[in-house]
Amino acid sequence: MSDEKSFHMTTDEFRRYGHAVVDWIADYHSRIESFPVLSQVKPGEIRAALPKNPPAQGEPFESLLKDVDRLILPGVTHWQSPNFFAYFPCNASGPGILGDLVSSGLGVQGMLWSTSPACTELETQVMDWLVEMLNLPEKFLSSKSGGGVIQDTASSAALCALLAARERATNYSSNKKGCSGLLVAYASTQTHSSLEKAAMIAGIGIENLRLIEVDDNFAMKPEALARQIEADKQAGLTPCFVCATVGTTSSNAMDPVGAIGEICRRHDLWLHVDAAMSGTAMLCPEFRHLQNGVELADSYNFNPHKWMFTNFDCNCFWVADRKALIQTLSILPEYLRNQATESGAVIDYRDWHIQLGRRFRSLKLWFVIRHYGVEGLRHHVREHVRLAQEFAEWVRKDDRFELAAPAPLNLVCFRLRGGDAANQDAVNQSIMDRLNRSGDLFLTHTKLKGKLTLRLCVGQTNTQARHVEKAWKRIREEAEKVTAAA
Ligand SMILES: Cc1ncc(COP(=O)(O)O)c(C=O)c1O
């Protein structure tokens, strides 16, 4: 059989090219500061440079890597650049990338315990470790009533939480009969848009997702939530779910989880806590007060793929009552039946999320946690917070600028003062556009109280003091140019 024709890469070739790829990645990371952070290409430019038709014959691997440099890199926005301050981070690290590579190498599809016991059991263990690392309530442990599962994103976690809440509130009848249109869910005006999407998909309907008003610091007003729930009940509706956010996307506002949780208990509503980015800060005891009351949550999630050095995608989602989640999402067709499942002694994570198939994501998380240890993770999180706080202090001390929201952790919302509202917005937009066009750094914006606001988030793996200092220098330079020209 050895002379059978094959187009496959041989093991020796794989070894050789694999080393070349790891070298390429290491080189990329060491020269990353030489690229403009935000890709400067125009729409269609990358596609136009690609061949119109697929190759009829295979090509040498060397030319693939060359084309990554030539054709792909110009169209990459460098999320791993230490000068990336936009959105929320999506950071990565050596151990995370290598863990992902091992996962690709194993090529496991872990839908059932039996399709790779290690894929399930490592995940359970790592999720239990994280309960301890983040000081989450014990009820989230797999040894208690709950348990954790790795999802692709916080959006999927929110959808799963909402589905479980919907089923719990309807005694598991919505799955059978569909939704009545009477169920109501609650979030704040600042909650991430994924909740609206979840309400659409879960059959709640966005008109039945109440966006509760926020206070001056952009945190949900619990008394407004309580009033709305009462009004909905009086109108014959069925409140079922509340999402509280620890660190909103727009301004990193902290909803008062404890007060919201008390209201949920009183009305028997499912409380989901979305700590997509800021959950990582809970590694450090000094930040945990930001989610006081988390013991009242029915579900909780955070994204190690945002701020915990674990490359995309990796969301950690816990529930206090795994039975509610499993009863909501479990279907067992004949072709998936197996002895381990029937024994009831194992977890089949396919029942814990939307899709059936699943990657071995816990490997990269395990690599990250073991490489850094709790000590190393805390060190870098504290350093990012320290740098952001220093930046906030520079803004505070410069009369030309103002802070637009409290900065509890690593996100600073700020703007240049002055002019009427429209003019001020235009000036700040112009500063941001000029900075982003320069390629020196990448910032994004939001609107707070109707005003355009610049956001600087410190969370990229290799961001150091010199990068934040340079960002502040460049921001002031562009502000001077824009105001001089006005
Ligand atoms: C608070 C919050 N929730 C949810 C999300 C959605 O994250 P994902 O891309 O993992 O769905 C984000 C993204 O930035 C977020 O900031």
Cα separation, 97 vs 378, in Å, equals 20
**Distance of CA 271 from the midpoint of ligand 1 (Å):** 17
**Atom in ligand 1 nearest the alpha carbon of residue 153:** 10
Taking the CA atoms of 428, 430, 435 and 439 in sequence, report the sign of the dihedral they define.
positive
> Strand 315-319 relative to strand 147-151: parallel, antiparallel, unpaired?
antiparallel
Q: For 402, phi and psi rounded to 5 degrees? A: -140, 150
Q: What pLDDT is recorded for position 146?
A: 97
Confidence of residue 2 (pLDDT cuts 50, 70, 90): low
Q: In this prediction, what percent of the chain has a pLDDT beyond 70?
A: 100
**Distance of CA 88 from the midpoint of ligand 1 (Å):** 8
**Atom in ligand 1 nearest the alpha carbon of residue 158:** 4
DSSP per residue, 259-287: HHHHHHHHHT-EEEEE-TTGGGGGGSGGG
**Atom in ligand 1 nearest the alpha carbon of residue 275:** 1
Cα separation, 474 vs 481, in Å, equals 11
What separation in angstroms does the CA of 133 have from each of 8, 129, 485?
44, 6, 51
Ligand 1 atom 5 nearest Cα: 154
Q: What pLDDT is recorded for position 449?
A: 96
Q: Which of 248, 254, 303 to mutate to test the pocket of ligand 1 (most atoms within 8 A of CB)?
A: 303
Please say if the pLDDT value at position 138 is more than 60.
yes
Compute, in degrees rounded to 10, the torsion defined by CA atoms 107, 113, 114, 116: 30
Q: Which of 79, 150, 155, 243 to mutate to test the pocket of ligand 1 (most atoms within 8 A of CB)?
A: 155
Taking the CA atoms of 132, 133, 135 and 136 in sequence, report the sign of the dihedral they define.
negative
Taking the CA atoms of 183, 187, 192 and 193 in sequence, report the sign of the dihedral they define.
positive
**Distance of CA 428 from the midpoint of ligand 1 (Å):** 25
Please say if the pLDDT value at position 8 is more than 80.
yes
- pLDDT digit string (tens) for 140-194? 999 999 999 999 999 999 999 999 999 999 999 999 999 999 999 999 999 999 9
Compute, in degrees rounded to 10, the torsion defined by CA atoms 64, 69, 72, 75: 180
**Distance of CA 192 from the midpoint of ligand 1 (Å):** 6
Average pLDDT over residues 98-119: 97
**Distance of CA 363 from the midpoint of ligand 1 (Å):** 22
104: tokens are 């690709």
- Mean pLDDT lowest for which of 117-131, 381-395, 420-434? 420-434
- Residue 172 region by backbone torsions, left for phi larger than 0, else alpha for psi between -120 and 50, else beta: left
Q: Partners of 401 in the beta sheet?
A: 416
Confidence of residue 419 (pLDDT cuts 50, 70, 90): confident
Q: Which of 195, 277, 410 to mutate to test the pocket of ligand 1 (most atoms within 8 A of CB)?
A: 277
- Mean pLDDT lowest for which of 41-55, 82-96, 277-291, 412-426? 412-426
**Distance of CA 158 from the midpoint of ligand 1 (Å):** 10
- Fill in the amino acid letter for 417: R
Please say if the pLDDT value at position 67 is more than 90.
yes
Q: What is the pTM of this model?
A: 0.97
**Distance of CA 290 from the midpoint of ligand 1 (Å):** 18
Cα separation, 409 vs 280, in Å, equals 11
380: tokens are 């870098």
**Atom in ligand 1 nearest the alpha carbon of residue 249:** 16
> Strand 401-403 relative to strand 270-274: parallel, antiparallel, unpaired?
unpaired
Q: Partners of 151 in the beta sheet?
A: 315
Average pLDDT over residues 65-77: 97
**Atom in ligand 1 nearest the alpha carbon of residue 152:** 10
**Atom in ligand 1 nearest the alpha carbon of residue 247:** 1
Q: In what order do the strands lie in the sheet with 401-403?
A: 401-403, 411-416, 451-457, 444-448
- pLDDT digit string (tens) for 442-483? 999 999 999 999 999 999 999 999 999 999 999 999 999 999
**Distance of CA 283 from the midpoint of ligand 1 (Å):** 19
Residues with CB under 6 A from ligand 1: 88, 153-155, 192, 194, 245, 248-249, 274, 276-277, 303, 315
Q: What pLDDT is recorded for position 450?
A: 95
**Distance of CA 154 from the midpoint of ligand 1 (Å):** 5
- Residue 57 region by backbone torsions, left for phi larger than 0, else alpha for psi between -120 and 50, else beta: beta
- pLDDT digit string (tens) for 347-400? 999 999 999 999 999 999 999 999 999 999 999 999 999 999 999 999 999 999
Q: What pLDDT is recorded for position 200?
A: 97
Q: Which of 90, 190, 191, 192 to mutate to test the pocket of ligand 1 (most atoms within 8 A of CB)?
A: 192
**Distance of CA 315 from the midpoint of ligand 1 (Å):** 10
- pLDDT digit string (tens) for 227-266? 999 999 999 999 999 999 999 999 999 999 999 999 999 9
Q: Partners of 453 in the beta sheet?
A: 446
Question: Where does 95-192 show beta strands of DSSP type E?
Answer: 147-151, 183-188
Burial letters for 461-486: b for 16+ Cβ neighbours within 10 Å, e otherwise?
bbbeeebbeebbebbbebbeebeeee
Cis peptide before 313 (omega within 30 of 0): yes
The helix/strand/coil state of 442 is strand
**Atom in ligand 1 nearest the alpha carbon of residue 313:** 10
Tokens 């939307």 -> residue = 354
Cα separation, 14 vs 35, in Å, equals 29
- pLDDT digit string (tens) for 187-231? 999 999 999 999 999 999 999 999 999 999 999 999 999 999 999
**Distance of CA 176 from the midpoint of ligand 1 (Å):** 30
